[in-house]
Amino acid sequence: MPEIPVRAFLSSLVAIRKTGTGYEVLLLKRTQSLAGEWCQVAGSIEDGETAWQAALRELKEETGLAPLSLYSADICEQFYVAERDEIVLSPVFVAFVSPSGTVSLNHEHSEYRWVSFEDAMEMVPFGGQRRILRWIEDEFVRRKPGRHLLIRTD
Protein backbone atom coordinates (compact mmCIF):
# COMPACT_ATOMS: atom_id res chain seq x y z
CA MET A 1 0.00 0.00 0.00
CA PRO A 2 1.51 3.39 -0.97
CA GLU A 3 2.14 5.89 1.76
CA ILE A 4 2.42 9.66 1.75
CA PRO A 5 5.73 10.71 3.29
CA VAL A 6 5.62 12.95 6.34
CA ARG A 7 8.59 15.29 6.69
CA ALA A 8 9.55 17.61 9.54
CA PHE A 9 12.41 19.88 8.43
CA LEU A 10 11.01 23.37 9.08
CA SER A 11 10.61 25.50 12.16
CA SER A 12 7.99 28.23 12.51
CA LEU A 13 7.87 31.14 14.95
CA VAL A 14 5.24 33.74 15.78
CA ALA A 15 6.74 36.93 17.24
CA ILE A 16 4.47 38.91 19.58
CA ARG A 17 4.91 42.23 21.33
CA LYS A 18 2.78 43.85 24.02
CA THR A 19 1.88 47.50 23.48
CA GLY A 20 -0.21 49.95 25.45
CA THR A 21 -3.28 48.89 23.48
CA GLY A 22 -2.78 45.11 23.45
CA TYR A 23 -0.75 42.48 21.67
CA GLU A 24 0.56 42.62 18.12
CA VAL A 25 1.89 39.93 15.78
CA LEU A 26 4.80 40.42 13.40
CA LEU A 27 4.11 39.50 9.77
CA LEU A 28 6.72 39.52 7.02
CA LYS A 29 6.07 39.91 3.28
CA ARG A 30 8.00 37.21 1.44
CA THR A 31 10.16 37.81 -1.65
CA GLN A 32 11.15 34.24 -2.60
CA SER A 33 8.95 31.19 -2.01
CA LEU A 34 5.36 32.38 -1.49
CA ALA A 35 6.48 35.76 -2.90
CA GLY A 36 4.13 38.59 -1.96
CA GLU A 37 2.45 36.66 0.87
CA TRP A 38 2.41 37.71 4.52
CA CYS A 39 3.83 35.03 6.81
CA GLN A 40 5.39 34.45 10.20
CA VAL A 41 9.10 33.70 10.69
CA ALA A 42 9.98 30.27 9.29
CA GLY A 43 12.89 28.31 7.92
CA SER A 44 14.74 25.06 7.58
CA ILE A 45 16.33 23.28 10.52
CA GLU A 46 20.06 22.98 9.88
CA ASP A 47 22.30 20.02 10.79
CA GLY A 48 23.04 19.97 14.50
CA GLU A 49 20.16 22.31 15.41
CA THR A 50 17.07 21.61 17.43
CA ALA A 51 13.79 22.99 16.08
CA TRP A 52 13.77 25.77 18.71
CA GLN A 53 17.36 26.73 17.91
CA ALA A 54 16.41 27.00 14.23
CA ALA A 55 13.44 29.21 15.17
CA LEU A 56 15.74 31.53 17.16
CA ARG A 57 18.29 31.67 14.34
CA GLU A 58 15.58 32.44 11.78
CA LEU A 59 14.14 35.18 14.01
CA LYS A 60 17.58 36.81 14.21
CA GLU A 61 18.38 36.35 10.48
CA GLU A 62 14.98 37.48 9.17
CA THR A 63 14.21 40.32 11.61
CA GLY A 64 17.26 41.12 13.76
CA LEU A 65 15.08 40.61 16.86
CA ALA A 66 15.94 38.61 19.97
CA PRO A 67 13.20 37.21 22.21
CA LEU A 68 12.52 38.28 25.77
CA SER A 69 11.11 34.77 26.20
CA LEU A 70 10.61 31.75 23.95
CA TYR A 71 7.91 29.11 24.22
CA SER A 72 6.89 25.96 22.45
CA ALA A 73 3.46 26.81 21.05
CA ASP A 74 2.40 23.21 21.76
CA ILE A 75 1.15 22.93 18.16
CA CYS A 76 2.54 22.05 14.74
CA GLU A 77 1.82 23.70 11.43
CA GLN A 78 0.98 21.09 8.84
CA PHE A 79 0.38 21.26 5.13
CA TYR A 80 0.33 19.08 2.04
CA VAL A 81 2.77 19.72 -0.84
CA ALA A 82 1.18 18.41 -4.03
CA GLU A 83 4.37 18.64 -6.16
CA ARG A 84 6.15 16.23 -3.82
CA ASP A 85 3.06 14.34 -2.59
CA GLU A 86 4.15 14.82 1.02
CA ILE A 87 2.87 16.17 4.29
CA VAL A 88 5.09 18.70 6.06
CA LEU A 89 4.97 19.19 9.82
CA SER A 90 6.60 22.21 11.41
CA PRO A 91 6.79 22.79 15.17
CA VAL A 92 5.64 26.30 16.09
CA PHE A 93 7.26 28.56 18.66
CA VAL A 94 6.18 31.83 20.26
CA ALA A 95 8.67 34.63 20.91
CA PHE A 96 7.69 37.56 23.08
CA VAL A 97 9.82 40.50 21.94
CA SER A 98 10.40 44.02 23.22
CA PRO A 99 7.89 46.59 22.00
CA SER A 100 10.84 48.90 21.32
CA GLY A 101 12.78 46.33 19.27
CA THR A 102 13.83 47.42 15.79
CA VAL A 103 13.07 45.09 12.89
CA SER A 104 15.83 44.73 10.32
CA LEU A 105 14.72 42.61 7.36
CA ASN A 106 16.98 40.34 5.34
CA HIS A 107 16.62 39.63 1.59
CA GLU A 108 13.83 37.10 2.14
CA HIS A 109 11.28 39.84 2.93
CA SER A 110 10.33 43.18 1.42
CA GLU A 111 8.37 44.64 4.33
CA TYR A 112 6.99 43.93 7.77
CA ARG A 113 3.97 44.93 9.80
CA TRP A 114 3.00 44.70 13.46
CA VAL A 115 -0.73 43.96 13.42
CA SER A 116 -3.51 42.76 15.71
CA PHE A 117 -4.32 39.06 15.75
CA GLU A 118 -7.58 39.89 13.96
CA ASP A 119 -5.77 41.73 11.17
CA ALA A 120 -3.09 39.02 10.94
CA MET A 121 -5.75 36.37 10.35
CA GLU A 122 -7.02 38.40 7.38
CA MET A 123 -3.53 38.86 5.94
CA VAL A 124 -2.08 35.34 5.98
CA PRO A 125 -2.86 33.16 2.95
CA PHE A 126 -3.51 29.76 4.55
CA GLY A 127 -6.14 28.36 6.89
CA GLY A 128 -3.43 26.55 8.82
CA GLN A 129 -1.78 29.87 9.64
CA ARG A 130 -5.11 31.27 10.85
CA ARG A 131 -5.64 28.23 13.08
CA ILE A 132 -2.17 28.72 14.57
CA LEU A 133 -2.77 32.43 15.18
CA ARG A 134 -6.10 31.66 16.92
CA TRP A 135 -4.38 29.02 19.05
CA ILE A 136 -1.55 31.37 20.04
CA GLU A 137 -3.96 34.20 20.86
CA ASP A 138 -6.01 31.84 23.05
CA GLU A 139 -3.09 30.09 24.77
CA PHE A 140 -0.47 32.87 25.01
CA VAL A 141 -2.40 36.15 25.09
CA ARG A 142 -5.79 35.42 26.67
CA ARG A 143 -4.25 33.12 29.26
CA LYS A 144 -0.80 32.86 30.73
CA PRO A 145 1.32 30.28 28.89
CA GLY A 146 2.08 27.09 30.77
CA ARG A 147 5.45 27.16 32.50
CA HIS A 148 6.37 23.79 31.00
CA LEU A 149 6.28 25.34 27.52
CA LEU A 150 8.98 27.90 28.34
CA ILE A 151 12.27 27.14 26.60
CA ARG A 152 15.43 28.15 28.42
CA THR A 153 17.76 29.50 25.75
CA ASP A 154 20.76 30.41 27.94
pLDDT of residue 34: 82
Q: What is the CATH number of the domain that holds 14?
A: 3.90.79.10
Amino acid identity for residue 134 in this structure: R
Please state, in angstroms and rounded to a whole number, the distance separating the CA atoms of residues 69 and 153: 8
In a domain, 90, yes or no: yes
Residue 118's domain comprises: 6-151
Q: Is the per-residue pLDDT at 73 higher than 90? A: yes
pLDDT in tens, 5-64: 898 989 999 999 999 999 999 999 999 888 889 999 999 999 999 999 999 999 999 999
Number of domains forming the structure of the chain: 1
Distances from the Cα of 80 to the Cα of 4, 5, 11, 84, 137, angstroms: 10, 10, 16, 9, 25
Q: Does residue 1 fall inside a structural domain?
A: no
